[in-house]
Amino acid sequence: MMSYLRTLPLLLFCVLCSDPTWAFAPRTISAHQSRRRLTRQFTYSGNGEEAGFESLVEEATSGSTGLYGGDFAGRAATFNPGDGSFISIPDYLIPESLKEWGQEPKCLEVLVSEDVHDDESGEGYVMTRVTTKILPETGCGVDNLETMLATDEIDLESQWKSDDDDGLEDVVGLQYPLGEDKLRVETIFGLEEEYGVDRIRVAIDLIPSEENFAIVSPMVLTLERRTSSISSGGTISEGGGLDGRTVYMLLGERLRASQTFVDEPSMSNDSYFDPDSDIRYVGLPSNISIAYGWNNDGNSWMLQVSHITPNGSRHVISRQFTTANNGELDFEIRSWVEDLP
């Protein structure tokens, strides 16, 4: 059975997945962003060795399952979905001293808390995600970091999950409205075979339309490791601020390296446009690529997000959007694994 819920003024959304009983019935997302600077109070002890801290993280994540839920620390970077080019952090967020030294960061450090709970009706699941973006700082500022917070309420009724051979989640597809006219398409790939990280998230914002589709803003890649299987609710900077040592320890060895994932070698293909198929292919860091455009029938718009695994295979999650005769906008989600030549 398929259910619908109005989320935009002119359109209804539904999702058709491998299981025909799944339906996309999203609620209006509650999102806000704030900026804060607080005095230092809550920090992790800096007296112990890093190995001791890592043992605490290992213990805190020992019961973790799935690709979301709990606390994560990572780095986020922004890219042009048209050609895959890197987009710098806005100049006004970077201290003048870093500019003078030529040390402008390419990524923002982020701390993410995800709490999965029942919705108000008790019939579905919702994920509350609190994202703390840490602004670049130098000198004494690292003892009292400035942050920007955003809270999203994500309906999980439309999520798509894939399992690998071990029964663990390999990829998750989320799609949820942002405000009244945007649809966020988020793909999460598990990275259990890679050192020092647990997942990479690919977030793309669309404006769906009966006449056209548009990727309306830069896309964001976020590389993260899980630091706890239990969500802290995004309270790490509440009532006491946040210092650089805490963030340094939470990121772990790989994510705090001077060379970020933006500059690491990637196996993704170069970006190009295929005029015969009207599809644009875009290669990105961390072995991520996307492909999007109108299918040959001219009635459906396709978006594929892919990740190349260390064993040489490509995992693809594909969404196809179609406008039905009654004006409703449907989309279908599929996933597959293909061997690279």
Average pLDDT over residues 114-129: 82
Query: Coil, helix or strand for 99?
Result: helix
The pair of structure tokens assigned to 117 is 């709970």
In a domain, 312, yes or no: no
In a domain, 318, yes or no: no
In a domain, 183, yes or no: yes
Q: What is the number of structural domains in the chain?
A: 1
**Burial of residue 22 (number of CB atoms within 10 Å: 0-12, 13-18, 19+):** middle
In a domain, 282, yes or no: no
pTM of the model: 0.83
∠ CA 85-304-3, nearest 5°, is 130
Q: List the domain range (segments joined by +) for residue 108.
A: 27-264
Instruction: Read off the pLDDT band of 281 (50, 70, 90).
Output: very high
Condensed to tens digits (0 to 9), the pLDDT of residues 2-53 reads 333 333 332 333 334 433 333 333 333 333 333 333 323 333 444 455 778 8
Owner of token pair 């004006």: 327
* Sign of the C-alpha dihedral computed for residues 31, 150, 124 and 332 taken in this order: positive
The pLDDT score that the predictor gives to residue 327 is 61
Best-predicted range by mean pLDDT (82-91, 111-120, 273-282, 294-303): 82-91
In a domain, 58, yes or no: yes
Share of the chain above pLDDT 90, in %: 40
